[in-house]
Amino acid sequence: MSAAQEHGPDLPPEDEQDRRDAERGFVASLDPARVTGADGRLVHDAEAYAFLEGPAPEQAHPSLWRQSRLAAQHGLFRVTEGVYQVRGLDLANMTLVEGASGVIVIDTLTTAETAAAALALYRSHRGDRPVTGVILTHPHADHFGGVDGVLADAAPGVPVIAPEGFLEHAVSENVHAGPAMARRSGFMYGTALEASPAGHLGCGLGPRLASGTIGLVEPTESVTRTGQVRVVDGVEIEFQLTPGTEAPAEMNMYLPAHRALCLAENAVHTMHNILTLRGAQVRDARQWAHYLTEAIRLFGHRTDVAFATHHWPTWGADRIERFLTGQRDLYAYLHDQTVRLINRGLTPREIAEELTLPPGLDRQWANRGYYGSLSHNVKGIYQRYLGWYDGNPAHLWEHPPVEEARRWVRLLGGIDAALAHADALLAEGDLRFAATLLGHAVFAEPEHEGARRRLAHAYTSLGHGCENATWRNAYLTGARELLHGPPPARRPGGSRLLAALSVDQLLDSLAVRIDGPAAWDLDVRVDLRLPDQDAVWHLRLANGVLVHHRDREPDPRARLTLTTTKPGLVGVLARRDLGDAEYEGDPGELRALFRVLEAPDPAFAVVTP
C-alpha cells in the first residue's frame, strides 16, 4: 500500500458539500482557459489541471487530490445578488461587487495579465462596467500584484483602499527580502513543476501563482479601525481590522445590503500558515483566533454568505458559524497546546511529533493541512515566543551544513558506506531519516551522482505521500533540482514594485544590498534634492552602513548633490548611472556607492551547497 493510500481511512466523511459549494453559482469560464501576455508567453493555464477530475493515483494523497480538484474549479461565479468572483485563474480570487455606476474590485490577483482576463470575463457576462473602487485586503502579491490590469482603463480618482500599514509591509516582504522569498517560493509553490498526476497538483490554496507583470500602487485611503464604514459607488462597507493574522496588515469587510462577509484570507478551506515555507514574519495564532471570534460576534448573526479571497464561499448562517468556529478553534488549539508543551520543556521538533488535533477539529475538511501544516505551524509558534534556539547548548554553535556533512560522512566510513546505510533505510521505508542522511551525503560530496539520485528518490517518495500541497511541491522541486539543477533565473515579467515605493523605502532597499566588507573603508556623502517632494535626503555610507534621513536644508558636507524627481531617482538607481540627471560635485561619490551594491542571486542553491 502506498503512503498516500494508507491515509485514506483517516479522512473525514465525504458528503460532497464542498463540491456543491465550489460549483454553486457558476456562470462561465474563459474559453480557452489560458491567459497569455502581450508577447504570447503563457501566464496561467487553468486547463492543465483537467486530469484532477479522474481518480487519485498512487502518486498522490487522496485528500490532497480532492482539495486540488476543488481548488482548480475556474471561471466566473455568482456569490449572491450583485457579488461575483473569478476563481481558478491565479492562486487567489478576484471578487467583484456591483455598485451604482460600476464595479468594485476586491483583490486584483498576482499579475496584470490575469487581472485583465478576470475583469474581461466578468464584463463579458455582466456588462462593460467601469471600475469604481479597488480594495486590497492585505499586502501579499497574489492580492495586489494585478492592480495595473484593473486600473488600466479606470477613471482618474478611483479610490484604492487598504488596511493601515499595507505599503510598509508590501515593501518589507516583496522588496527587502523579495529575492530570497521568491527563490523559496519556487519550492513552496512548485513553480517549475509540470501539472500532472505525479507532479504539480496545486498549492492547497489555489491552483498556482501566475507568472506575469506584477505591480504595486500606494493606497489612496487606509482603514485604521474596526467599525469604520465607507460607501464606495453606493455600496456600504463595514471594515474589521485583523493585523497579525494571515498578514501583518489585513482586514475583513461586511456588505450589509448583501448580508455578505468577506473574510480576506483569515478563514479559508484549509489550515493556513503560522509561518510559511517561503519565509515571512511569524503570525500570531492567538490573535488570529481572537479576530475570528470577533468576526463571529460582529457579523455572524447578520450574514447569509461568507467568502474569502481563496477557495469557495459558505452559505447559510448555521454553516458559516460552524466553519468560523472550526477555524477559530483550530488556531487557538495550535497556539495554546504548543505553549503548554513549550512550558513542559519540549523542543519544536518534539512538539511537532507529539501534538495532534482533537477529532472534532481534525475531521473537518477545512482544517486539514493542505497549505499550512500542524508540523511547521507549531514550530512557527515556538519561534514566535522563543526564537531559533531550543536551549540545548549542543545546538548553540553547530558547524555550517557542509562542514557538518563532511564530518558525518567521515564518521560513517566514507561516502560509499553512507550510501549503503541510506539504501537500507530506503528499503525499510524510513524515508525521513534516509533524506536526512542523504542530505548530508550530497552536501559532503555534491557532485556524487549516486547520492543525488538517491536523495531525489527519497524526496519524490516523500512528496507523493504528502497531504500538504506545499510540502509536496517542496519535495518534488528538490528532487527536480538534484537531477536537473535550478531553473533559469528570471524575474517576474515587468515588475513595477520600485515605482510605488516612497523615497525612504527606495533608500532602505539600497541599504540591504550594501556589501558590508567591501564598504568598510568608504565614506560617501550624497544629497538627493527632489523638488517634487519638497525635500532633501542626506545619504551617508560609512562602516559598511548606508543611513539616510529627510531634511529641508542641504548638508554642507555632501560631496555630491543630485537634483531630480522621484521617478528620475528610480531611473538612476535602476541604471546605476546619473544619465541626464542634474548634479553638483563629484559624481564619483555615487559611483562608489553603486560599486558596493550586491545584486541578489535569484537562483541560489538550496538542495546543494
Condensed to tens digits (0 to 9), the pLDDT of residues 264-317 reads: 999 999 999 999 999 999 999 999 999 999 999 999 999 999 999 999 999 999
Alpha carbon distance, N-terminus to C-terminus of the chain: 35
Cα–Cα distance for residue pair 46/210, rounded to 1 Å = 10
To which residue does cell 506545499 refer?
Answer: 470
Residue type, 290: H
Q: Label residues 299-328 b or e (16+ Cβ within 10 Å = b).
A: bbeebebbbbbbbbbbbeeeebbebbbbbb
Query: Using one digit for the tens of pLDDT, what is the confidence trace for 480-504?
Result: 999 999 988 765 444 467 777 889 9
pLDDT value of position 4:
43
Cα–Cα distance for residue pair 490/496, rounded to 1 Å = 15
Residue 375 lies in a domain: no
Average pLDDT over every residue of 33-49 = 95
Mean pLDDT rounded to a whole number for the chain? 95
- For 521, phi then psi, to 5°, come to -100, 5
Half-sphere exposure of 69 (CA within 13 A, CB side): 19
What angle do the packed helices 431-444 and 401-411 form, to 10 degrees?
Answer: 110
pLDDT value of position 3:
42
Q: β-pairing, 131-135 with 103-106?
A: parallel
| 443 shares its domain with 585 | no
| 545 shares its domain with 446 | no
Report the CATH number at residue 445. Answer: 1.25.40.880
- For 578, phi then psi, to 5°, come to -70, -30
Domain end residue (candidates: 342, 364, 390): 342
Closest CA to 367 of 316, 292, 436: 292
Domain end residue (candidates: 465, 494, 522): 465
User: Quick check: 2 pLDDT over 50?
Assistant: no
Residue 550 lies in a domain: yes
| 443 shares its domain with 550 | no
What residue spans of 281-316 are helical by DSSP H? Answer: 285-299
Report the CATH number at residue 336. Answer: 3.60.15.30
- Decide: pTM greater than 0.85: yes
pLDDT value of position 580:
81
Cell of 302: 447578520
- H or E segment to which residue 419 belongs: helix 415-428
Residue 390 lies in a domain: no
| 47 shares its domain with 128 | yes
User: Quick check: 204 pLDDT over 70?
Assistant: yes
Using CB atoms within 10 A of its CB, is residue 32 exposed (0-12), middle (13-18) or buried (19+)? exposed
Domain end residue (candidates: 440, 465, 490): 465
pLDDT band at 527 (very low <50, low <70, confident <90, very high): very high
| 529 shares its domain with 436 | no
- H or E segment to which residue 223 belongs: strand 221-223
Quote the domain boundaries for residue 448: 398-465
Residue 338 lies in a domain: yes
Using CB atoms within 10 A of its CB, is residue 487 exposed (0-12), middle (13-18) or buried (19+)? middle
Contact 130, 122 (CB under 8 A): no
Average pLDDT over every residue of 40-46 = 96
How many domains does the chain divide into?
Answer: 3
| 575 shares its domain with 440 | no
| 82 shares its domain with 225 | yes
Cα–Cα distance for residue pair 279/290, rounded to 1 Å = 24
Average pLDDT over every residue of 580-594 = 94
pLDDT value of position 499:
77
pLDDT band at 1 (very low <50, low <70, confident <90, very high): very low
| 439 shares its domain with 525 | no
Residue 222 lies in a domain: yes
Residue 296 lies in a domain: yes
Cα–Cα distance for residue pair 141/174, rounded to 1 Å = 8
Residue 460 lies in a domain: yes
Half-sphere exposure of 411 (CA within 13 A, CB side): 8
| 320 shares its domain with 429 | no
| 228 shares its domain with 276 | yes
Closest CA to 554 of 588, 583, 581, 574: 583
284 dihedral zone (left: phi>0; alpha: psi -120 to 50; beta) = beta
| 273 shares its domain with 326 | yes
Contact 475, 455 (CB under 8 A): no
* Cα dist from 249 to 272, 281, 284, 506, 572, whole Å: 16, 12, 12, 21, 31
Q: Under 8 Å CB-to-CB from 229, ≥6 apart: which residues?
A: 236, 237, 238, 239
pLDDT value of position 496:
67
Contact 131, 103 (CB under 8 A): yes
pLDDT band at 176 (very low <50, low <70, confident <90, very high): confident
Residue 558 lies in a domain: yes
| 89 shares its domain with 195 | yes
pLDDT band at 155 (very low <50, low <70, confident <90, very high): confident
